[in-house]
A and B are shown apart, each in its own frame.
Chain A
Amino acid sequence: MSYIPLETHLPGITGLLEYRQDSAKPIRELTQLLLRGPSSLTEGERELIATIVSSRNQCSFCTAAHTAAADILLEEDKTSAAVKQDIASAPVTEKMKALLLIAAQVQESGKSVTPFSIANAKEAGATDMEIHDTVLIAALFCLYNRYVDGLATATPSDPAFYQGLGQRLKQHGYNRLPNGYDHLKKK
């Protein structure tokens, strides 16, 4: 049971974003820009950043949702699983390893990011904008994970739910659906 009354057909973050739509608007816009906007990082790579942070914050809803989105965008499910297990040995580029490590440090605290890990990312070819976006994506998911778990929102246990959500995130991104979410009530 969530700590405040939310629409029962909208588990996790969606119910919260519908609960207060005026604060949801800039959060959605920021997410759409960072995860789907123009970037030299692929959408799949950016979803991996969201996944590693959510996983380390132990936010089950966000981890499952962004794992599903990453898997759909990358068209395989090995990379996200490996990243969550161990960044160093995951099948991603050296640059992505360095960025994922920065994201993991941001998850702990802004102060945990070290000049060494930044230098490492630059050496592996990361641009200033990529480092900026990585830090902000990781910080944004520290917001989301706390929002979702701090109010004890519902976490569906059926993997099919996250498959559907991942598809929606691939197709529609993070903007509010033009006609809202009433169509989900029937399911």
Chain B
Amino acid sequence: MAYIDLGNELPGIRGPMAFSPRTSKPLNELAEVLLRDDDNTLSRGDRELIGAYTSYLNDCFFCQNVHGSLAQHYLQCDMSALDAIKSDPEAAAIPEKMKALLSIAASVQKGGKTMKPEQIERARNLGATDREIHDTVLIAAAFCMYNRYVDGLGTTAPQDRQFYINRAPQRAAEGYLDFDLYK
């Protein structure tokens, strides 16, 4: 049970989004432009991975599974591979640049002030552009908002992780703007 009467039984962020459509519009527009817009040198999979990893660090079950499943879908890997990246990105089989960007995301999750110039330097030396560094910070910061919105209102989340995996292809196709909150 959510902490307030949302007037619906929808899981995760969809509950408060249906409760407050006025704020759900910019929240979804932000997700679309950050995670799905094609004018970006980071792939959709990379960006969903940054979102899933930040959500994992915030211990937000709903968000890490929604976005983890989307990352899996785009990166064409399985759940155990994605779980391995989330629990130890430095040891995972991902590009070095991605490791550097995930380390930036981890610092954002802890607090903006924990970012060290060396982390930015490392990402840049591995080929990350200013825009990629910017987007990594903003995606991680945005998930620090989404995760708090979802858990701060005590929303419910389906516990079967397969639920999220099954939905990912359709969610990837629809994106964050043109979808039915109730389905």
Contacts and interface: CB of A to CB of B under 8 A. Distances in A.
Contacts of A16: 134
Contact of B144 (A3, A26, A30, A146): A146
B112 A145 contact: yes
Size category of the binding interface on chain A: 35 or more
B111 to A, nearest CB: 6
Interface stretch (A63-71, A81-89, A110-118, A179-187): A110-118
A163 interface: no
B148 A138 contact: yes
A128 B33 CA distance: 30
Interface in A104-135: 105-106, 109-111, 113, 115, 118, 128-129, 131-132, 135
A136 B149 contact: yes
B102 interface: no
B43 interface: no
Nearest to A29: B26
B112 A110 contact: no
A176 to B, nearest CB: 14
Given A128-B4, A135-B153, A152 B27 contact: no
A136 B149 CA distance: 6
A113 B117 contact: no
Interface in B11-37: 16, 19-20, 22-23, 25-27, 29-30, 33-34, 37
A113 B115 contact: no
A169 B16 CA distance: 27
Contacts of A178: none
A152 B154 CA distance: 33
A-B residue pairs, 3 tightest by C-beta:
A149-B112, A110-B151, A139-B148
Interface of A: 3-5, 16, 19-20, 22-23, 25-27, 29-30, 33-34, 37, 57-59, 102, 105-106, 109-111, 113, 115, 118, 128-129, 131-132, 135-136, 138-140, 142-152
Interface of B: 3-6, 16, 19-20, 22-23, 25-27, 29-30, 33-34, 37, 58-60, 104, 107-108, 111-113, 115, 117, 120, 130-131, 133-135, 137-138, 140-142, 144-154
27 contacts: A3-B115, A4-B130, A4-B133, A19-B134, A23-B138, A26-B29, A29-B29, A33-B26, A58-B113, A59-B112, A109-B58, A110-B149, A110-B150, A113-B3, A115-B3, A118-B154, A128-B6, A129-B20, A132-B153, A136-B23, A139-B145, A140-B145, A145-B111, A146-B108, A146-B141, A149-B115, A150-B115
